[in-house]
Structure 1
Amino acid sequence: MDALLPSLLLVSPLPPARNGIADYAAALLDGLAPHYRCTVACEDWLAAAPGAAVVDPALAHRLPEAGGRVLHQIGNNPDHGFVLRALRHLPGVTTLHDPGLLHLHESTGESRATILAGLRHAAPGMAATFGAQLRDHGLSTRSNHLLFDLAGEVLARSRAVVVHSRFAQRRLRLTHGEAATAHVAVIPHPLPPGEPPARGAARARLGIPPGDFLLVTAGFAARAKRLDWVAAALAALPGIRWIHAGGADPEQAAAVADRARVTGHLDAANFADHIAAADVLVTLRFPSQGESSGPLARGLAAGVCCLVSDTAAYAELPRDAVIHLPLAGGARALAAALAGLLADPGRAAAIGAAGRRHALAEMALPSVAARYRDVIEASRDRPVAPLAGSAAPPPLLRARPERAAIAQVLAGRQGACRLRLDVSELAALADLSLAPTGLLPGLLPPRAAVRALRVEPDGLLLDLDLAGPG
């Protein structure tokens, strides 16, 4: 029955990469399996995707059928450089997990000219002033990451773009305009597959006594996740145990070293246990560009009381499903909320239950996967912009692998073209290559320079540069 399903190429990092989007992609594959035969292009040769073949991205161009389906997963870190490069040559639907993408460009060696072009496209008025340090001296400032997004190329090269919040959709629309963002759809972050661990069993495995009040922060903690605010809030609440389930950048790790236990990267089962064991899961973000959160989805699914910053995507969550914390006086507001929950444990349970009801109604994996299917199918024929700085694609010509037939189709042409030599069996190509002059010199006119060659199941595809009209 699987053979009757259409094929889909997913381009994304996968586990064991220590990357939340890799985990997202692996979970999404489970949801897409009823709709597509999936293949994954992934740079990591250790990557595993049960139920799907994994291929090298360099070979991905061979996979999509005519009008084929491609789904890219792009985030703002160096693990996604190969996805950005693949999008340039394999347009499809793109999940834009973070509209910023400046760190992605900087950390994967994209040229300064490409980055400056992205800054000018996003905010031409500001780029003249705030991009001057990069333009004139090669210096990138922290403010650039807040002021600019480099999503313009993704918007232009994608048949559709998926974001996880209305905030992210509106932000893109305000920056890039209505016309450039008409194909942006909102699909919520899905819940992970399967049931979360039971709280009591998770606490037992982690050695957390039943009476301890456990606060968990989770995922890789960069500065914007504000572990410093959590440390300040807990200064007056010594009775709360704090575990950070994940890694942290050096600045954040130093800020919490005397208060939290930082676990470092955890495998999926251990990570799920830490979240399910929590009395509260604290997920802060400032500043935010509309990012979503895999740990938050796990916390909601597990019925844990979640405390979030009242900003961007988090502000869209129902007011009874989480506790929203104001950005002003963030540490004080967190301390007050935690003190209230300590005094009234039933409130935390009620909020956790409401959060789980919301998650099951809006974020269940089958529902999210069905919405992806709808976006993929509806956008298959949508045209995309040509590659930046590229001319129109060269004409594609076809001929039999005979010198006279090739001379006829090339007659009067010059410049770039693509020539397909139709051969019913590859063995025939091998026979032709035994000619004294060799295969291509025996078939092509002297004015034809071969720039690229690809063997396909029923022929040979040549990129040619013709020196002058024949």
Structure 2
Amino acid sequence: MKIAYFSPLNPIKSGVSDYSEELLEYLGGYGKIDLFIDDYRPSNSWIYEQFNVFNYRRIFENHGKNDHDVNIYHIGNNDNHSYIYQVCLEYPGIVVLHEPMLHHFIFSQTIGNNRVRDYLRELDYCYNSRRAEIIKSTLEERDENSWYDYPLLDRIVDSSLGVIVHSEFARAKVLEVNQCARVRRISHHWSPPPPDHMRTPERLRETLGFRPEDFLVGSMGYINSSKRIDALLRVIAKAKKMGYPVKLLLVGKMLSGSEVLRWIEDLDLEDDVLVSGFVDTMTFAEYLNVPDLFVALRYPSAGETSGSVIKMMGAGKPVVVSDRYAFGEFPDDCCVKVAAGENEEDELLEKLVYYMDNPDERLALGERSQRYILKHHDIQDAARGYVHFATELLSGG
């Protein structure tokens, strides 16, 4: 099979970039893959050693004619995917929908570029009679939370040969849009970390300024309001007042406009919270082994499957997640779930205190998490799933 593969790659700082580079190493064993990217040069040299890399404009120059059996398009809810969205509407293929929500992306591409008519056309295509209601909330009131109610998936689903998603929640969202869509759930893979040159957790804790007796909570991934960092910080402050030696490690890029540093100062947690900023893939893999427990809340949420959470669980760490959407699909004995809403902080504090007081239970939970990920999120299975789905679509099955 010969595949034209469209995705962000590093140095584009995106979870999809990491996902694709991990997958490509395994998917490449099933056929010839050509990569199509935007105006940059991939930062990992092995990409050029294993694949041909082309600018996506080549597809338009050839009017879509090429000798590939299928195009695979990775689509996420941000501007990194603008050229991919453009090509996949013109030349249908398999869409990998990393989250069942594109409103933020489409709003940025249209309203963000003064293309109001294009935004209105998208509303008409997806919702038609509800256009006035949506305009009131998204344009007049500028209520970004309302975007989650209108995912704007219709056009990309309708134009695809098939859709790959990572959860049953996302699969249901696609079928809501088009009940005839060919959609396949392929679990978000877990990729084994590089075994060499990794510092020990004990050494890293010392390097980062944490004591052996500290209970270290971790949060990894882009730092934004939907990660509920404000709630997590308040819970950390409450646990400290109860006498627990709890610290917090925040790993990830802080998005512009973030109030995290002010929250830390207001809660008098400057000596208890370390914000690392963006880290490279190797450092990220090292940091996975440092915390005693991770917190990965999402509200509001687009229903995405978090690659960071898969990595945390794969590292054998207990993880606290919001009990909704894709996160809610994890078995109850493999992670800790708290309800989003008014009781969120109380539940989170209760769970945090329990696992600080019961280290054996915490370690057992981490072991169950790891076993589950190794069994159900194997990267070889994911690569085979891509090939099998493409083969079915091409054969008309």
Please classify the TM superposition score into its range, dividing by the shorter chain length: 0.7 to 0.9
Matched ranges for 1:223-372 at <5 A: 223-238=225-240, 239-249=245-255, 250-254=257-261, 256-258=263-265, 259=269, 260-328=273-341, 329-372=343-386
What whole-Å deviation, never above 9, does each CA across 1:297-322 have from its counterpart, x for those lacking one? 11111101111000000000011110
Q: Which has the higher helix share?
A: 2
Give the AA of the match of 1:148. Answer: Y
CA offset at residue 79 of structure 1?
Answer: 0.8
Aligned to 1:236, what secondary structure does the other structure show?
Answer: helix
Cross-structure match for 2:81: 80
Cross-structure match for 1:53: 52
CA offset at residue 196 of structure 1?
Answer: 6.7
CA offset at residue 378 of structure 1?
Answer: 1.2
Contact 1:196 1:272 (C-alpha < 8 Å) held by counterparts: no
Distance in 1 between residues matched to 2:78 and 2:71, nearest whole Å: 21
CA offset at residue 124 of structure 1?
Answer: 3.5
Which of 116, 119, 122 lines up with 2:126 in the alignment? Answer: 122
- TM superposition outliers: structure 1 runs of 4+ over 6 Å: 196-200
Cross-structure match for 2:8: 13
Contact 2:248 2:274 (C-alpha < 8 Å) held by counterparts: yes
Contact 1:231 1:255 (C-alpha < 8 Å) held by counterparts: no
Distance 1:177 1:41, change over 3 A: closer
Distance in 1 between residues matched to 2:354 and 2:101, nearest whole Å: 36
Q: State the TM-score, normalized to the length of structure 1.
A: 0.74
CA offset at residue 281 of structure 1?
Answer: 1.2
CA offset at residue 373 of structure 1?
Answer: 0.8
Higher relative CO (Cα under 8 Å, sequence separation at least 6) belongs to 2
Distance in 1 between residues matched to 2:199 and 2:340, nearest whole Å: 33
Q: State the TM-score, normalized to the length of structure 2.
A: 0.87
Q: CA RMSD in A?
A: 2.4
CA offset at residue 126 of structure 1?
Answer: 3.2
Cross-structure match for 1:168: 170
What whole-Å deviation, never above 9, does each CA across 1:156-197 have from its counterpart, x for those lacking one? 2211111111011112323x1412xx3111111101244678
Distance in 1 between residues matched to 2:262 and 2:174, nearest whole Å: 33
Contact 2:157 2:174 (C-alpha < 8 Å) held by counterparts: no
Aligned to 1:257, what secondary structure does the other structure show?
Answer: helix
CA offset at residue 36 of structure 1?
Answer: 1.9
Give the AA of the match of 2:84. Answer: V
Distance in 2 between residues matched to 1:357 and 1:229, nearest whole Å: 30
Contact 1:192 1:297 (C-alpha < 8 Å) held by counterparts: no
Matched ranges for 1:31-180 at <5 A: 31-47=26-42, 48=44, 49=47, 51-61=50-60, 62=62, 65-66=66-67, 68-109=69-110, 111-132=115-136, 140-174=142-176, 176-179=177-180
Distance in 2 between residues matched to 1:242 and 1:133, nearest whole Å: 36
Contact 2:317 2:367 (C-alpha < 8 Å) held by counterparts: yes
Distance in 2 between residues matched to 1:140 and 1:274, nearest whole Å: 37
| Alignment gaps of 5+ in structure 1 | 1-5, 384-470
Distance in 2 between residues matched to 1:28 and 1:103, nearest whole Å: 26
Bigger drift between 99-108 and 116-125 goes to: 116-125
Distance in 2 between residues matched to 1:196 and 1:166, nearest whole Å: 32
| Alignment gaps of 5+ in structure 2 | none
Cross-structure match for 2:25: 30
Contact 2:157 2:178 (C-alpha < 8 Å) held by counterparts: no
Distance in 2 between residues matched to 1:267 and 1:55, nearest whole Å: 25
Bigger drift between 141-150 and 366-375 goes to: 141-150
Distance in 1 between residues matched to 2:193 and 2:377, nearest whole Å: 13
Contact 2:98 2:166 (C-alpha < 8 Å) held by counterparts: yes
Aligned length: 373
Contact 1:162 1:186 (C-alpha < 8 Å) held by counterparts: yes
